[in-house]
A and B are shown apart, each in its own frame.
Chain A
Amino acid sequence: MRKRIIKFLFLVIVPCVNFFSCAKEIDFEQADDFEISPVIESSLIFFDEPASSFFTSSAEIISIKDSISIEVFNNDFVVDNLIKADFVFEATNSINRTFQIQVDFINDADQQVHSFTLQALSSTDGSDLLSNYIEVFEGDELDALKNTSKLVFTLSLLPGDTINPTTPGRIKLKSKAIFYLNIGDSI
């Protein structure tokens, strides 16, 4: 009896082990090729103001300038993985004046590393006039972006009919950044 049991165990266990040992070809080193390319869009700056905002008690405001400190662009993750960025602007102007928006990119040493301007063209008949602008950051511009720690915005009114408290129309600006990431090599 005992012999029969041992023989049976042998017959059962050996195929079991065989089953276990069998595995098709697997290559875990493929994980080195891991790469994902998400595209992130984020709102940037915006404003929406009537023409009268460009008039103080006595005179028209020729230009407005302000700045923000921003750490996102020189964050390690962005520096390592950002391969391209687009800044997309859409200005809607119904004021009979052309506006110019200048964006300066300033680094830690307070030096300007990049700058661009866009215009919101004047609307002669009071209807909404759309102006689109895309600033693309690739190569050197991308490196400049990754060095940026401060953005300076300057909104200027180009020469034209003087604005007074009753000047009709509004100026609107919408903007977004599109960040093209490629994550893989660095992790």
Chain B
Amino acid sequence: MRKLMMYFIIVSCCFSFSQNKQLLYGFSEIPQSLLLNPGGKITNDFYFGIPLLSHIHSNVGITGSTVYDIFANDGIDFNTKLQHAVYGMNSKDFFSANQQLEIFSGGFSFGSSYEKNQYLSFGVYQELDFIAYFPKDLAVLALEGNQNNINRPFKTSDINVTAEAISVFHVGYNKKVNNKLTFGVRGKIYSSIANINSTKNKGHFTTTNGQNNFYNHIFNLDLEARTSGLTSLTNDESDSGSVVKDLTKRVFLGGNLGLGFDVGVTRQLDEQWSMDVSLLDIGFIRHKKDIENYKIEGNYIYEGVDPIFTDTANGQTAEDYWNAIEEDFEDIFEIDTTTAKYTTWRPIKFNASLNYAFGEKKYKDCNCTRPEKSYLNSTGLQLFAMSRPKQAQLALTAYYYRRLFNGLQVKATYTIDSYSAYNVGLGMSARLGGVNFYIMTDNFLQLKNIYNAQSVSLQLGFNYIFNKNEN
């Protein structure tokens, strides 16, 4: 049984999720792929996203243990499973959720009438991003107490959480310089709806063997949580009506504002080989309004009370002595509340891919050669990296893309990231008339038992597209 448990934990530790949109990246038939590389290839002349339905993305992920590990109805004691989960995870394991909803978007090509080689795209989307690392040391302290952990520092730096809800207004410019080179940039204005941020905590609580008494209890704490946009929502005067009004205002640039940009480039190496690179969300948000920060800071070593031989020469009684200790304790655990402004950086994402197109499209109607060759398949490797509070997330994807019919393309991906070795994803984009529909999900193998999935990611959307080539 124990072996089985260990196997369970080890296996479950071995997959993870990332915020990687490896299926959408480089999928040029889908206009939203421009959000992953502003310098990507564009295959349409004009498009607009169906409002609120053009891009729905959600991703929930957990590393370490899964919901199934803990809640499986398998007759094993719940607390045993919980303990296994706690011991099986470390402070770099995390729970994360990311969601995006495009409110509207559109784009059109322009330039000289014979060659429209420039493209302007724009839109507004809302994003929710949350990551909380597993506070392993505090979980062990809660589970065991300090009795069997003398000299072990319980690191309060394990507390690491950030959550933000923002809306993003963006305009992107893409230019196909020549057949070899396409580049693009996208400017972004962020409007923060709400933010919680506690990522730079330090300190520890340690019990050591003492000199004067059995133990010294060392409290070394430096904890801070910063929030914006929450105080006004939770105060007594706000009701649901005013909250909705307030939130709507913040979505439309009434929140704490920030600026950022994306850049990207695609390089055609030869007829069949191409490579591209993009950097996304290089930007910051300045939190000035509606701020409440909390801080706990202090050092204290407690070794007990000397109740009898207090400093009687100075008239101190044991009561005074004890009061002084109590005050010291209150001081270190006292929460200082401030309204200091602060800046947060958006998590930067990096994408790069190397692609090989093959299988030339044959035309039934004529056996002629066309000036621009068109390929039915492509395959390649994609690299994804993203900055996160504790360590960057990395993912490497191999993909195969296939145009099945003119109006239907599919893509399959196989992704390895720092934890997972078999994340298979499938996505497709279809066009019926002018309407484009796409859906993609990764960790396909895990969907068989969704509760045992380390991550679930889904993207779908509807666009209305006018295509360049109706071939």
Residues of A whose CB lies within 8 Å of any CB of B are 1-2, 4-5, 8-9, 12-13, 16, 19-20, 22-28, 30-31, 33-36, 38-49, 53, 64, 66-70, 88, 90, 151, 153, 155, 174-176, 178-179, 181, 183
Asked whether, in the complex, the Cβ of A174 is within 8 Å of the Cβ of B82, the reply is no
Does B230 sit within 8 A of A, measured CB to CB?
no
Closest chain A residue to B428, Cβ basis: A12
Picked from A2, A26, A176, A183, the residue with its CB within 8 Å of the CB of B214 is A176
Asked whether, in the complex, the Cβ of B448 is within 8 Å of the Cβ of A19, the reply is yes
Asked whether, in the complex, the Cβ of B72 is within 8 Å of the Cβ of A181, the reply is no
Picked from A9, A34, A183, the residue with its CB within 8 Å of the CB of B82 is A34
Asked whether, in the complex, the Cβ of B304 is within 8 Å of the Cβ of A45, the reply is yes
Most buried by A among B210, B212, B318, B426: B318
CA distance A35 to B449 in the complex (A): 27
A66/B407 contact (C-beta < 8 A), A26-B451, A40-B146 known: no
Asked whether, in the complex, the Cβ of B308 is within 8 Å of the Cβ of A64, the reply is yes
Most buried by B among A41, A64, A69, A181: A41
Does B1 sit within 8 A of A, measured CB to CB?
no
CA distance A23 to B216 in the complex (A): 50
CA distance A19 to B426 in the complex (A): 12
A24/B451 contact (C-beta < 8 A), A33-B78, A176-B215 known: yes
Asked whether, in the complex, the Cβ of B319 is within 8 Å of the Cβ of A66, the reply is yes
Asked whether, in the complex, the Cβ of A43 is within 8 Å of the Cβ of B303, the reply is yes
Asked whether, in the complex, the Cβ of B214 is within 8 Å of the Cβ of A153, the reply is no
Q: Mark B78-113, 1 if CB is under 8 A from A, else 0.
A: 110010000000000000000000000000000000
CA distance A76 to B407 in the complex (A): 67
Asked whether, in the complex, the Cβ of A39 is within 8 Å of the Cβ of B213, the reply is no
CA distance A4 to B304 in the complex (A): 80
Does B234 sit within 8 A of A, measured CB to CB?
no
Give the 3 A-B residue pairs with the shortest CB-CB distance, closest first: A38-B145, A43-B304, A66-B318
Asked whether, in the complex, the Cβ of B210 is within 8 Å of the Cβ of A43, the reply is yes
A-side contacts of B6, CB under 8 Å = none
From residue 403 to 450 of chain B, which have CB atoms closer than 8 A to chain A? Answer: 404-408, 410, 426, 428, 430, 432, 439, 441, 444, 447-450
Closest chain A residue to B304, Cβ basis: A43
A-side contacts of B310, CB under 8 Å = 66
CA distance A142 to B451 in the complex (A): 43
From residue 193 to 220 of chain B, which have CB atoms closer than 8 A to chain A? Answer: 207, 210, 212-217
B-side contacts of A66, CB under 8 Å = 307-308, 310, 317-319
Asked whether, in the complex, the Cβ of A68 is within 8 Å of the Cβ of B322, the reply is yes
B-side contacts of A174, CB under 8 Å = 212-214
CA distance A19 to B453 in the complex (A): 12
A-side contacts of B215, CB under 8 Å = 41-43, 176
Asked whether, in the complex, the Cβ of B72 is within 8 Å of the Cβ of A69, the reply is no
Asked whether, in the complex, the Cβ of A20 is within 8 Å of the Cβ of B447, the reply is yes
B-side contacts of A24, CB under 8 Å = 68, 72, 449, 451-452
